Structure 1
């Protein structure tokens, strides 16, 4: 009997470590060395999404298009960001109880009007998890949603994940960051082509004062980015898309997802900068949702099921 117990223990130990290694091989959220890096750039000055600069294909490889199928037609309803090979993050207000089967995630898109564009990947949704405390009561608090894909993203030159910040970290006021999307350009550019812009992080208290003038409040877990005099901004249709800021560590530079396009008052107006969900305030929640996904659970479950069968077999052998 002692030999049976020893064999069972050794088998359990082996299976546990195998299962643990498999789970750890898929990061809960992106902290990979190659996240936030684009190998493609476009020369020339950065302008605006309203009055925007057209992106080169693959310039912002984490950019996702959230596409709704309705009445036989497809439309980009929001942007999003790839955070690992199974998950995309976007804004909660992008959705209005649509069936998951009507929503797709398009990756590697530059010209949304070109259905034959190379380097695209089209993925379906397995699940949608929006923040439980999201509220659209005038200030869009907790405006964040996680989309789990039915199949893995294949990373290419044109499709790569964005880095996430540390929980509770802060961006610097005045820091220049990038927004991107296929939203309204107010006749200043072709919104079929992914547009991008440089915006500046604005002090939260200052921004809140500007918005109070029009009866709006800025949640604590949001940040403002743009310019006091306007002229540069995200607009309708850019919701859910990324606000990314560069950081350099040990000589290596990458982009970090600091914000998710949430709301504003008009587009590119004076003292009405864009307002973005502050991603660093939700890293623990992202970790909880992504870390408790079926991928991790299934691997442990199958290992334990197999272990149970083996243990039963050994016990039967010992008894008979």
Structure 2
């Protein structure tokens, strides 16, 4: 019986763990964003705000626990009323199995300064008003190991409902874009981002073709671990004011692995 029990215990994490979509994403070396396969990024959240009784998508987020969503600090404004939509693919459609939850509380990193985005700390956690039930279309992303650094040219995917290009339209369907990681030594060179980028950030992209854009903020940079699970290595933070996919101005993400202890602390204390 012990043997059987052990088998059940070892299988359990795969069934209810993190980073393993029921509908695996279509991952190819496609350049340029593309429609994601429906529900293939099941931890992707849409952060929405209310204006005159209507809800509008403003940022992305990542479900990392059944009642916690990770997003960017710059997405949060104390004057707005928010909700978190999970299990979504098409924002314009009614989708069975999707759920909208109000935040119980929102915790922005205490060192975040909206006037000094380049300092970093662009990270916030949203505690949901209730635990969500995980399903085929709502799953958790894995956190990366603390302090782990992605090597140059690691292929990751940015996902979100952000603009399709600079000043372009907002899509209804979730988009995904393949971005290659640019290491800190390269990204911090003067001809790239220079001193604007910090070691607590991840740069990805910069080929002038594909990038995150307005509306993707707060969403995940999804990178596959050696064990095949998807980890959220980055939170979309900022891009170039020159345009979304500007050459040598890769998308810049808050590096999640620099904040593992902050995330754990906030979740434990709230």
Same fold per superposition (TM over 0.5): yes
* 1:247 shift after superposition: 1.1
Mapped to 2, the partners of 1:43 and 1:142 lie a distance apart of 32
Pick the aligned partner of 1:284 from 253, 261, 265.
261
Q: Tell me the SS of whatever aligns to 2:146.
A: coil
Tell me the alpha carbon deviations over residues 98-141 of structure 1, each in whole angstroms, 9 at most, x when there is no partner. Answer: 24xx2000001111111x12221111110000110012314151
Match of 2:187 in 1: 207
Distance 1:141 1:234 in 2: 18
1:271 aligns with 2:248: yes
Please tell me whether Structure 1 or Structure 2 has the larger radius of gyration of its CA atoms: 1
Structure 1 pair 44–130 and aligned structure 2 pair: CA distance change class (3 A):
closer
Equivalent residues of 2:162, 2:170 under 8 A apart:
no
1:185 corresponds to 2:168: no
CA apart distance, 1:204: 1.0
1:122 pairs with 90, 95, 100, which one? 100
Equivalenced residues, count: 253
Secondary structure of the equivalent of 1:139? helix
Looking at structure 1, the residues matched to 84 and 170 of structure 2 have their Cα atoms a distance apart, in angstroms, of 21
Aligned match of 1:165:
144
- Is the CA contact 1:55–1:196 (under 8 Å) kept in the aligned structure 2? yes
Q: Distance in 1 between matches of 2:160 and 2:41?
A: 10
For the Cα contact (< 8 Å) 1:140–1:262, is it kept in 2?
no
CA 1:233–1:290: 2 relative to 1, 3 Å = same
The reply to whether residue 93 of structure 1 matches residue 74 of structure 2 is yes
Contact in 2 for aligned 1:46/1:197 (Cα 8 Å): no
Greater helix share, structure number: 1
Q: In structure 2, do the counterparts of structure 1 residues 44 and 126 end up closer, same or farther at CA, with 3 Å as the change threshold? A: closer
CA RMSD of aligned residues (A): 2.2
Q: Are 1:63 and 2:44 matched, yes or no? A: yes
The question of whether the paired residues in 1 share the 8 Å contact of 2:26 and 2:37 is answered with: no
2:16 maps to 1:38: no
- Deviation of 1:46 after TM superposition, in Å, equals 5.1
1:34 Cα deviation after fit: 2.0
1:262 aligns with 2:242: no
Deviations 1:141-189 (A, max 9, x none): 1000000001111100000000001221211111101110000102888
1:234 is aligned to 2:212? yes
2:217–2:238: 8 Å Cα contact kept in structure 1? yes
